[in-house]
Every structure is written in structure tokens, then in C-alpha cells.
Amino acid sequence: MTRTALAAFLTCLFTTVMSAQTSDVVQRGQKVFTAEKCAVCHSIGGTGNKKGPLDGVGAKLSADQIRQWIVSAPEMAAKAKAVRKPPMKSYPNIVKEDLDGVVAYLASLKK
């Protein structure tokens, strides 16, 4: 196998593994979103509370901004001058893997 072919193969393999891991994190986030009943206040794809749509949030906010909305909602609402009632509460004690999953899931919502 030539050096170029080997490099292409390894790149493809790495991309496939990373894509699968990313998919697993996104799926975990979707499960956490459902389990934590986020749809009581938010909607995705027409499912949930239509007053808090999250469709396309991944195209509007960075992953770090999404993370901040979850762990520091009142501060983010003040920055954004958001006045939604009731205001979103913070989840500062969410398990890191769950937080990473929800962030990945919401960041994947580009449309």
C-alpha cells in the first residue's frame, strides 16, 4: 500500500470513528432532552411547546453559547434581553456527559 493510499485510508477510518462517536453523543443528548422533559418549554420539529422553538438553534448559537444557556440561563437571558415567562431555569449541576450530549444535540439542529 502506498503512503498516499495509507494516509487516505487512515483519514477515512478516523473520520468514520469520530462521526460514530459524535452520533452517539447527539443521540444521548436527544434522550436527555426527552427524559428531562425539555419539550414542556421548548419545541423541536413541531413537537413540544411552540413558544420555545429550538429549530435551527445550532445555526444561530455556538456550542459554548448553548452550554451557557443551559448552565446559566438567567445571565444569558439578561444578555439577550429575553423576557419569556416563565424564565428558563439554570441546570448548573447537570452531569457532564448529559450536558455534552444536550449541547451536541442542540448544536446539530441547523435547520
Classify the C-alpha dihedral 37-35-107-55 as positive or negative. Answer: negative
pLDDT computed for residue 42 by the predictor = 96
Q: Choose among 48, 47, 45, 49: nearest CA to 57.
A: 45
Could you tell me which CATH class the domain 3-107 is placed in? Answer: mainly alpha
* pTM exceeds 0.85, yes or no: no
Q: What is the pLDDT of residue 111?
A: 85
Q: Note the pLDDT tens digit of each residue in 21-30.
A: 468 999 999 9
> Burial level of 19, CB count in 10 A (0-12/13-18/19+)?
exposed
Mean pLDDT by 10 residues, the chain (111 residues): 60 47 86 95 95 95 96 93 87 94 96 85
pLDDT tens string 75-89 = 999 999 988 888 898
Distances (CA, A) of 42 to 1, 16, 24, 27, 37: 52, 32, 22, 18, 9
- Break the chain into its structural domains and give their ranges: 3-107
Supply the pLDDT for residue 86.
Answer: 86
